[in-house]
Structure 1
């Protein structure tokens, strides 16, 4: 597809074909130790180091202001965990808008410090400034993880016959962000009790524990759905693996709070910020041992689909027996919230 050079981007992720043409074709010197380089659906790059590997990832927090520091650590940690690495070293860039106070920076750092201690992650470098270029705090984090074994698990690893498993629920992060950001406006619509519970869903965004378990039980591929929700995460698995995947929306669980809030603001919960869920492609026989591990850990899981074949990139989505069409990429549903 030919895109005029002066055309403007929409809000959200850059179109995949533009990433391929403009970003992934300009990656500098390619060191021989790079095992996995950036690409669509790639959670983290992987570098060979001796007999093992390290994983590197970076992600910004742009939609949330509440607990942004805490969220930045966990969102980045999720990415390296998806390739089978333990999060170890975090590097944030904190951009504050004009008029920010000491207490604003202190809140960000308190939250970041708490999250880092929860994951046993060290904050080792970074940058902090006040700039007129932003109108709310923006945190761009980078993280280094150390491989749990000798080889990573890649999001390109989906194989024909695999089942697709999702942990927890869709839209957890987005539900919490909306509840925090629109609390006063939504209180009269959905009720204070639902909003309070919704805000607490942020505590469920880490998928490090379940990713480690899936790695140890032989997952073929893992992916952490973030912007664009679970649907985008599934499509990115298709792209990374060049695979045709079939998914049933009826099997993707939603929290009561997500259903209520998404109905109130008229958005699709499956297109909503998805951190907190982990997508796992795994052979059915290997899943038998993994599901017992999940149950022992108290982690909810659902079988939501299957890999039909490799060699064709396609996501087939069904609901109540009918196919549902999505056009990719699309802006995250959170950018469509109107109250």
Structure 2
């Protein structure tokens, strides 16, 4: 599943938001993954919706964690979810059992309640689609948004780039990886990265410590697209260095065998943090105490037309200034190996 081009979003989505209500404090905007609605006093409802079709195994579990990640990166603990489950025309009860069991398991892991949804099947689908709406309550002045990244901030990236994609490839593309000479041990190790896809724990710890200016979870399009989304949201120029990016061995091996760029691989679980330089060490210590690795990879340079400059490992520079909704390595690999 790809994202719509930015110009079409501006033309057909962001200008068509129904009635403008005073209680809608933050609605759809480029690079901002949540909406914020006033409830009472300084209490607000933070909401997010995210679909998944890029995985087959564990799709229900992934959908819950990924939707709740975006609530947590806003500094709010997720409380409730609603699910949309659409199955292929040739579905069976075992498929529904697996998906709903996984959704239930993930919800219990995050201590969230499933309060409603819709389940059915659709013609034309060749694999399941699961969409989760996640919600939580917070205080307006404590909300964190990608738009709050500031010039002078350091950029910290956690865990590893391409994290979610590496786990999905190990799960759904095992036979292809084995045929290309990847060892069973490497694949088993990569499967463990499913356990790192949630950022709720660390995002809440950082929000409660009040040390960060902004956080963003790297989903479709990977860390590269997530950095550009942060630049768009905050109207800034961000400069980063690829050789400082955390890269797990399994991701590197998969990238070599399947010829993909880890910076553009879907990477839920990888948190991008914008933080004042004087708070860098405190943030890294909080993460380290939670056994989460992290690296300072660059900085926010200035207010500017949204732009990201990546100093590539090979010595050249890559400039990103246009959101590229179709540039996602997992989607490309699915198109090359549709029967995986």
Verify same fold: TM over 0.5: yes
Distance 2:201 2:25 in 1: 24
Q: 2:332 aligns with which of 311, 336, 339?
A: 336
Superposition pairs of residues 152-171 of structure 1, within 5 angstroms:
152-171=143-162
1:323 maps to 317
Deviation at 1:149, TM superposition (A): 6.8
Q: Secondary structure at the match of 2:165?
A: helix
1:6 paired residue number: none
Aligned to 2:138: 147
Specify the alignment match of 2:91 in structure 1: 100
1:118 and 2:112 aligned: no
Which has the higher mean CA deviation after the structures are superposed, 44-53 or 229-238? 44-53
Picking from 113, 122, 130, the partner of 1:131 is: 122
Structure 1 residue aligned with 2:266: 273
Q: Which residue of 2 aligns with 1:291?
A: 284
Distance in 2 (CA, whole Å) between partners of 1:35 and 1:241 is 17
CA drift of 1:335 comes to 2.1
> What corresponds to 1:91 in structure 2?
82
| Structure 2 match to 1:21 | 11
Residue of 37, 42, 48 corresponding to 1:47: 37
Q: Check the 8 A contact 1:214/1:280 in 2, yes or no.
A: no
Structure 1 residue 241 displacement after superposition? 0.3
Write the distance in 2 (CA, Å) between the matches of 1:178 and 1:309: 37
Q: Distance in 2 between matches of 1:233 and 1:150?
A: 24
Instruction: Please show how residues 222-301 of structure 1 align to structure 2 within 5 Å.
Output: 222-301=215-294
Whole-angstrom CA distance in 1 between matches of 2:61 and 2:107: 8
The separation in 2 between residues aligned to 1:307 and 1:288, in whole angstroms, is 17
Secondary structure at 1:14 match in 2:
coil
Q: How many angstroms apart in 1 are the aligned matches of 2:304 and 2:244?
A: 26
C-alpha contact 2:157 2:246 (8 A) present in aligned 1:
no
Contact 1:37 1:46 in 2 (8 A): yes
User: In 1, distance between residues paired with 2:303 and 2:205?
Assistant: 25
C-alpha displacement at 1:42, in angstroms?
0.7
In 1, Cα distance between equivalents of 2:252 and 2:281 = 30
Give how far 1:323 is off: 1.0
Aligned 8 A contact 2:246 2:294 in 1: no
Q: Distance between the aligned counterparts of 1:133 and 1:28, measured in 2?
A: 30
Give CA deviations for 1:21-50 in whole Å, capped at 9, x if unaligned.
Answer: 111110111221222111111121111222
Superposed CA RMSD:
1.5
Shift of 1:140: 1.0
- Structure 2 counterpart of 1:3: none
Query: Which sections of structure 2, spanning at least 5 residues, go unmatched?
Result: none
Paired residues of 2:308 and 2:319 also in contact (CA < 8 A): no
Give the SS at the match of 1:65.
Answer: coil
**Which stretch shows the higher mean deviation, 185-194 or 110-119?**
185-194
Q: 1:84·1:149 contact (CA, 8 Å) conserved in 2?
A: no
What residue number does 2:199 align with?
207
Worse-superposed segment, 135-144 or 192-201: 192-201
Distance 1:81 1:30 in 2: 26
Contact 2:309/2:317 (CA < 8 Å) preserved in 1? yes
| Equivalent residues, number | 329
* 1:197 alignment counterpart: 189
* TM-score (ref. length: structure 2): 0.93
Summarize the Cα distance change of 1:47–1:164 in structure 2 as closer, same or farther, 3 Å threshold.
Answer: same
- State the TM-score, normalized to the length of structure 1: 0.93
